[in-house]
Every structure is written in structure tokens, then in C-alpha cells.
């Protein structure tokens, strides 16, 4: 990328930023307001209150591209996963799923977002594992027949892991990948559609490409932003084909609300705030466009526009994407405060900014700033697209279990603030039901409402943390648990 072109992009982006105004700023929430607030009261009987997991992070017993990645290490000898951990058993939900369902019942949740594992259901291309289908169906039936009220399954089809047969062909860089994924979605809709209405095609395509193709920390371990951007476009195509396949193959209205399918995607969003002057602001705007906007914009407009000023600009017509969201899933964790480092980006091709951390702010065990105001700000940002919004993930790495109750309360407050301003948030799902395999952090990132002693307890007992009561209070407010 030559400096003239970059400068031009920065100037143009700056002009756009000034024209649109920067992201809406909000003052810090008042802790007393949060303490006094009764979250989700009056949100209505249709409000989705739940928890989320992903197949690979909880099931155990899977064999896919991540399994291979876990065995590897970087050229400096460091293992790909902290402590050399593996997901070979994970939370053993493949066997202990009845305990998971019981825990969800205890929480009072009315929705459970979880994954079906592609490599398990389709272990070789075109094959289909009937025993795996039967096992997932057993769990789906148990959720529907739960103790107090049905727990609606939200079925997630892709959450970072690929079957080996697809990975060896080049993963999402293989031209046939979107069609292969759509074929998988069609079969899943045939197999589970009578029990499932809520479908989530993809989890966090932007996290997948930044981790797997830009930072090189996840498989396939590439550090090439241009390739990452092209994979992001590919994932959007895959979403479009899968959404159509699901709608064509699931014609059964499982919950009797008049709709057989409600399709969406879980989109990771972050606040990008400039640390200082106008150049930082321009960079924050570029990061926001790429990370937060490219995906919903493509679905809203039917045009894929992905721009990384030092690497690539993709402009492709994709009219089939329009209408593929019945809802938008928002996964929110934290914000980045950015300081530009354009010289570094020009000379070394790296990221055009560095995050600058404010040590006076609260942080999670994984070093992510706790910033509930960001959820409120982003919900306001995404409202104009017009889709109902489901917060498909929100959670905190907290080994002590002490931080999570206030984290849940402040983020529920953020949602209610946005709802009060007319943002159509129709659900909140906490990440996660229980501690699980936190990707390259192994078992060091503890996100569970229920904690698991992976090293010391062979039974992997799900033990409630203090946040279980916090979550149950939300359920009580919605009439899902008795007072």
C-alpha cells in the first residue's frame, strides 16, 4: 500500500467521520441507578432470557481443525493454547448434557443458544452421523419439555471450528466452502427443524478472521489482512446461502408462534474510542467500519464493502444477503481505546493502531476493560438497521465469581437504557452457562455462571457461582421463576 493512497483514505475516512459525527458519547452510568434498577421488568412474555455455549468449547470428544491446532506450537516453541490445554474432554457436555439442561432449568432461562458440531455430524464430506443426530435430538426434546416452561433452542451452526476434510481443502478459502456449509445447514434443518425455530448461522465472523487470518492466533494461523478480508466476504456468502437453505428446509413451526424459522447471526461488536486527536479518531472510524459495520451493512444493502486501508478493499454485489436477518445477534464484551501508529502500519504492514489501556478502569481476568456503557452505545448504533436485536453473548472472565453479579446487573441496565430509548432488544443471553474451553486461553478464562474444577474434579460437577442468583432474579422479573 503506498503512502499516497493511505493518506487519501485517511482523509476521506476523516471527512466521513466528521460528517456523520463520532459514535455517540455517553457519561458513565451511575452505580446507584444500576443498584436501584429492576432489569427487564415489563419486557414482556416474549423476551428471550438465556445462556450460551458453543459445541467445541463444551462437548469434548471432537476431532476438527482446532484439535490439530491445539497440538501445535509457534516457531518459538510456545504452545498454541495456554498451558498446552486441549478440548478433548472440555466440559464433557456430550455425556453430561442432562446436567446442563438441569442447570438451565434452575436458572429460569427460556432460551439456550448452543452449537451443533459440523465435524461430528458430517465427519467426512457428504456423510451424516445418525447417532449424533439422535443425541442432539434427545437434548432438544429435553429442552422443549423442561420443568417449568419450554427452553427454546437457538441452534448455532458454525462457531470457529471446521471439519478436517474441509480444512485440508483450504477452509473458508476453498471456493466450495459456502455451498458445503449451506448443504450442512439444509441437512441440519431437515434433522432438527421440527424442534428448532431460532437459527444462528455463524458466530462472530469478524473474530474468526481477525484471530485466524490477521493475528494468527487461531487456525489456520495466517497473518495476512487481505486474506482475512476475503474470508470475511466468503463467510457472508456462506451465511446468505445457509439462511436460504434453513428457510427452505425447516417448514415446521416448533413453538406455535406462526413462524417456522427466525434466522440471524451472532456479531461481535466492540467500541473503538480514539485515545487522542483527529488521526486517532480516523483510525477508530476505520476500525469501526471494518469490525462493526461491514457485516450488517452487507446484509442491509446487498453489497459487500470491506476496506482495510493498508491491505485491501473489497466491493462485491451480494443481493442475496438482503432479508437474511430476522434478528441481529450482538456479542459484546469490551472496548478498545486506540492510538494510531500509521508509521508502523506503513513500514511493517501491521495494525494501524495500538490499544492504550486505562489502568484505572476495571478489567476482567483476561485484561478486557469492563465497560457496560459500551453496550448501550452500540445498541443505539445498531438500532437504525431496523432488525430486532438479541444480545447473543455478554459475559466476563472472572475466576473468583465475585465480579460477575455486578457485571450482569450493569449490562442488563445498559440494555434497559437502550430499550427505553426505543431500541428493539428482544433477548439477553449470558456467556456462558458454565466454564469451558476458552480457545487459546485454555481453561484460564472462566466465563461460567456455573464453575467447573477441570483439574481436580473428574466428575466435572457444575457448581453454581454467586451470579446464578443474579440471573435468577432476572428470570423472576420476567415471570419465568416464582418470586
List of residues contacting ligand PNW (CB under 6 A): 54, 57, 203-204, 207, 268, 331, 333, 393, 431, 438, 447
Peptide bond into 432 cis (omega under 30): yes
- Residue of closest CB approach to ligand PNW: 207
CB of 443 to ligand PNW, least distance (A): 12
CB of 441 to ligand PNW, least distance (A): 8
CB of 356 to ligand PNW, least distance (A): 16
CB of 90 to ligand PNW, least distance (A): 12
Between the alpha carbon of residue 261 and those of residues 200, 256, 283, the distances in Å are 10, 11, 39
Contacts of 339 (CB under 8 A, 6+ apart): 275, 276, 280, 353, 354, 355, 356
CB of 159 to ligand PNW, least distance (A): 6
| Residue closer to ligand PNW (CB basis): 249 or 270 | 270
CB of 367 to ligand PNW, least distance (A): 10
| Residue closer to ligand PNW (CB basis): 240 or 445 | 445
Distance CA(198)–CA(153), nearest Å, equals 7
CB of 450 to ligand PNW, least distance (A): 15
Alpha-carbon dihedral of residues 280, 285, 288, 289, nearest 10 degrees?
Answer: -150
CB of 288 to ligand PNW, least distance (A): 15
| Residue closer to ligand PNW (CB basis): 54 or 410 | 54
| Residue closer to ligand PNW (CB basis): 160 or 181 | 160
CB of 447 to ligand PNW, least distance (A): 6
CB of 307 to ligand PNW, least distance (A): 20
Closest to 153 (Cα-Cα) out of 142, 166, 143: 143
**Dihedral pair phi/psi, residue 79, rounded to 5°:** -70, 150
Q: How many CB atoms lie within 10 A of CB 263?
A: 22
Distance CA(333)–CA(245), nearest Å, equals 31
| Residue closer to ligand PNW (CB basis): 331 or 470 | 331
Distance CA(59)–CA(77), nearest Å, equals 28
| Residue closer to ligand PNW (CB basis): 57 or 310 | 57
Q: How many CB atoms lie within 10 A of CB 149?
A: 13
Cα dihedral 299, 304, 306, 307 sign: negative
Amino acid at each position: 500500500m503506498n503512502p499516497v493512497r493511505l493518506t487519501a483514505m485517511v482523509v476521506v475516512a476523516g471527512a466521513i467521520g466528521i460528517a456523520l459525527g463520532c459514535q455517540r458519547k455517553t457519561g458513565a452510568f451511575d452505580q446507584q441507578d444500576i443498584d436501584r434498577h429492576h432489569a427487564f421488568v415489563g419486557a414482556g412474555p416474549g423476551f428471550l432470557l438465556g445462556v450460551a455455549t458453543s459445541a467445541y468449547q463444551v462437548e469434548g470428544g471432537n476431532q476438527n481443525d482446532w484439535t490439530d491446532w491445539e497440538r501445535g506450537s509457534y516457531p518459538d516453541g510456545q504452545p498454541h493454547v495456554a498451558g498446552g490445554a486441549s478440548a478433548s474432554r472440555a466440559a464433557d457436555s456430550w455425556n453430561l448434557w442432562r446436567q446442563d439442561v438441569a442447570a438451565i432449568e434452575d436458572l429460569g432461562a427460556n432460551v439456550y443458544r448452543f452449537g451443533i458440531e459440523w465435524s461430528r455430524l458430517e465427519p467426512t464430506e457428504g456423510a451424516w452421523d445418525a447417532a449424533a443426530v439422535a443425541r442432539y435430538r434427545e437434548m432438544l426434546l429435553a429442552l422443549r419439555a423442561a420443568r417449568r416452561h419450554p427452553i427454546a433452542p437457538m441452534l448455532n451452526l458454525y462457531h470457529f471450528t471446521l471439519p478436517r476434510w474441509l480444512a485440508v481443502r483450504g477452509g473458508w478459502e476453498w471456493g466450495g466452502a459456502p455451498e458445503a456449509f449451506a448443504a450442512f445447514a439444509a441437512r441440519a434443518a431437515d434433522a432438527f427443524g421440527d424442534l428448532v425455530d431460532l437459527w444462528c448461522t455463524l458466530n462472530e465472523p469478524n473474530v474468526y478472521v481477525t484471530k485466524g487470518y490477521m493475528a494468527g492466533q487461531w487456525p489456520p494461523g495466517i497473518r495476512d489482512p487481505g486474506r482475512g478480508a476475503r474470508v470475511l466476504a466468503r463467510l457472508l456468502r456462506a451465511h446468505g446461502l445457509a439462511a436460504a437453505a434453513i428457510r427452505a428446509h425447516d417448514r415446521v413451526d416448533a413453538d406455535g408462534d406462526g413462524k417456522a424459522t427466525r434466522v440471524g447471526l451472532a456479531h461481535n461488536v466492540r467500541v473503538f474510542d480514539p485515545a487522542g486527536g483527529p488521526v486517532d479518531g480516523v483510525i477508530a472510524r476505520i476500525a469501526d467500519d471494518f469490525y462493526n459495520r461491514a457485516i450488517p451493512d452487507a446484509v442491509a444493502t446487498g453489497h459487500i464493502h470491506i476496506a482495510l486501508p493498508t491491505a485491501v478493499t473489497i466491493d462485491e454485489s451480494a443481493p442475496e444477503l438482503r432479508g437474511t436477518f430476522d434478528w441481529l445477534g450482538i456479542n459484546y464484551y469490551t472496548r478498545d481505546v486506540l492510538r494510531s501508529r500509521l508509521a508502523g502500519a506503513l513500514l511493517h504492514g501491521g495494525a494501524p493502531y495500538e490499544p492504550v489501556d486505562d489502568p484505572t478502569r476495571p478489567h476482567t481476568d483476561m485484561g478486557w476493560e469492563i465497560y457496560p456503557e459500551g453496550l448501550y452505545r452500540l445498541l443505539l448504533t445498531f438500532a437504525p438497521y431496523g432488525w430486532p436485536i438479541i444480545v447473543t453473548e455478554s459475559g466476563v472472565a472472572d475466576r473468583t465469581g465475585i465480579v460477575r453479579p455486578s457485571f450482569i446487573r450493569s449490562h442488563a441496565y445498559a440494555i434497559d437504557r437502550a430499550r427505553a430509548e426505543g431500541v428493539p432488544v428482544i433477548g439477553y443471553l449470558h456467556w456462558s452457562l458454565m466454564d469451558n474451553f476458552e480457545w487459546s486461553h485454555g481453561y484460564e478464562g472462566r466465563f461460567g455462571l456455573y464453575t467447573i474444577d477441570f483439574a481436580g474434579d473428574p466428575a466435572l460437577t457444575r457448581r453454581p457461582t454467586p451470579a446464578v442468583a443474579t440471573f435468577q432474579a432476572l428470570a423472576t422479573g420476567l415471570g419465568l421463576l416464582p418470586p
